[in-house]
Amino acid sequence: MTELLSNYAAGRWQAGTGNGTPLFDPVLGNELVRVDSTGLDLDETFAFARQQGGAALRALTYRERAALLAAIVNVLQANRDAYYEIATANAGTVKNDSAVDIDGAIFTLGQYAKWGDALGDTRALRDGEAVKLGKEPVFQSQHLQVPREGVALFINAFNFPAWGLWEKAAPALLSGMPVIVKPATATAWLTQRMVRDVVDAGVLPVGALSVIAGSSAGLMDQLQPFDVVSFTGSAETAGAIRAHPAVTHRSVRCGIEADSLNSAVLLPGEAPGSEAFNLLVREVVREMTVKSGQKCTAIRRILVPAEVYDAAAEAIGAKLAGVTVGNPRNDSVRMGSLVSRAQLASVREGLAMLSAHTRVLHDGRDRPLVDADPALAACIGPVLLGARDADTAQLVHDVEVFGPVATLLPYRDSAHAVVLTQRGRGSLVTSLYGRDEAALTRITLAVAGSHGRVHVVTPDVGRAHSGHGNVMPMSQHGGPGRAGGGAELGGLRALDFYHQRSAVQASPTVLAALGLPDLA
């Protein structure tokens, strides 16, 4: 029997009482560890986090809580090698892809440690300036943001066991809210290990951070009015979470990041071989292959002027042909495996669905795997699909294949391109490639309403841009509609979700006595 990972709940390590669910190496197929949360007292877990963890965190100032984040960074850095090993074994990712998750997490924590320190030694944040409520300034209104007096539950996705925890926990802990994380089972090991290291290092108040590795049953039932829940994953599960009475009837605040049909757009007038054309090709190939395309921000739809459709297909296909796929332990491998055989089956199913509306422009499935047994490994080569009529290929705008798959689509003019991006019904990100700044700004403003992020690549930032799918903590992560309507990160904007805004109406003397420092 493999090791049964413990849960950290109510301030102590607790093993589940069931047999556990096994986690596998998606390349070699062997069982690695097991997780189980059977028998956990959820009433106690949530009450303990709310009372012990919440009270301890709220007793600290923002600057003191920022110091906690900095301490977490130190713990994670000290154990970084172990995380890479777990990622290789449990996620099947090559080193560069593991870095997106692990080093991305550490970088994000570090940013919030820095930003939080600048908030100073205060326990409430000023929201705007005081304004007078009548003709005379004798009675005024000052908005505050204060920590929500509840717990933050994270129900996380399998593709980012490290970053998915810390990009949420950093702003939550900085805001003074205790965190309970339920990682996706397939890759729960890395999340559990990071929490274990942080808990064992004793850098956080007891109750500030808990991990439940196992079943999500009963978690939503625990939520009370001042709690929040943040979910990352499929649109279907998102719907079920939003339909839970905790959200519908107890006003639990709910943040959703769902996958979306993100797009990349080559601007009109960019010929094959132009700098913008080449930048699009490079970015598409990168997005299709990083983490084997298992990123909620990955490019799924490639929109190009109709006249360069064939050239784009050829250029992308040629680069994809050079991508080696297989065992991430082999240095010649550029792209590892999907996270599980179940995901491999799901990707194959998605490809079968899309075949009704597309043809295959490049097929990486027929290439041999490096150092991996196709009967065991969850590996699949990249597949570029294409549809000459972007308007009628409805499935391409609806069905996300969560793997190394994207579809090339031709557009007639920039208005048509904008409409096609919007066919995703709300996406996390779109990226635009071109030289014409007037056209770029016009399209940016046209697509901003349906995208949480617009990433503009001009030749002058060809080397410096941060990447279409790379989620920077400075920028909002989350889009409307199909993307879930959430808003994470974006610097200190992320703190809003974990705060309650309140308008204090009082005399200027009382408002001054609140002792809120001015924010520069």
Q: Which residues are catalytically annotated?
A: 257, 296
Place of tokens 């503009």: 456
Which lies closer to a second copy via its Cβ, residue 63 or residue 341?
Answer: 63
H/E segment holding residue 407: strand 405-411
Residue whose C-alpha is closest to residue 50's, from 146, 173, 157, 178 = 178
Q: Footprint of a second copy on residues 206-225 (CB under 8 A)?
A: 225
> Cα-atom radius of gyration of the chain, to the nearest Å?
24
The answer to the question of residue 485 lying near a second copy (CB under 8 A) is yes
Nearer to a second copy, 82 or 131 (CB): 131
Among 22, 67, 120, 139, binds a second copy (CB under 8 A): 139
Number of residues that bind a second copy (CB under 8 A): 82
Nearer to a second copy, 44 or 460 (CB): 460
Sites for a second copy among residues 98-137 (CB under 8 A): 123-124, 128, 131, 133-134, 136
Nearer to a second copy, 314 or 436 (CB): 436
Angle at 472 between CA 467 and CA 475, to 5 degrees: 110
Strand partners, 3: 33
239 binds a second copy (CB under 8 A): yes
Q: Which one, of 79, 104, 214, 220, lies nearest residue 159 by Cα?
A: 104
Residues 244-273 that bind a second copy (CB under 8 A): 245, 247-251, 253, 256, 258
Determine, following the binding rule CB under 8 A, whether residue 518 of this chain makes contact with a second copy.
Answer: no
> Rounded to whole angstroms, how far apart are CA atoms 439 and 274?
16
When asked if residue 149 is in the footprint of a second copy (CB under 8 A), the reply is: yes
Q: Which of 63, 196, 348, 493 binds a second copy (CB under 8 A)?
A: 493
Pair of tokens at residue 14: 């607790």
CA 391 to chain centre: 29
Q: Which of 354, 454, 494, 495 binds a second copy (CB under 8 A)?
A: 454
Q: Using alpha carbons only, give the angle 22, 25, 31 rounded to the nearest 5 degrees.
A: 35
- Chosen residue from 82, 466, 517, 519 binding a second copy by CB under 8 A: 466
Question: Positive or negative, the Cα torsion across 365, 368, 370, 376?
Answer: positive
Q: Is 465 one of the binding residues for a second copy (CB under 8 A)?
A: yes
Phi, psi of 481 (to 5 degrees): 60, -130
Residue 394 sits in the site that holds a second copy (CB under 8 A): no
To a second copy, the closest distance from the beta carbon of 111 in angstroms equals 11
Note whether 141 binds a second copy by CB under 8 A. yes
Nearer of residues 65 and 453 to a second copy, judged by Cβ: 453
Q: Which of 260, 227, 232, 256 is nearest to 243 (CA)?
A: 256
**Rounded CA gap, 216 and 21, in Å?**
13
DSSP single-letter state for residue 403:
S
Of residues 105, 181, 299, 487, which one binds a second copy by CB under 8 A?
487
Give residues 170-189 in contact with a second copy (rule: CB under 8 A).
none
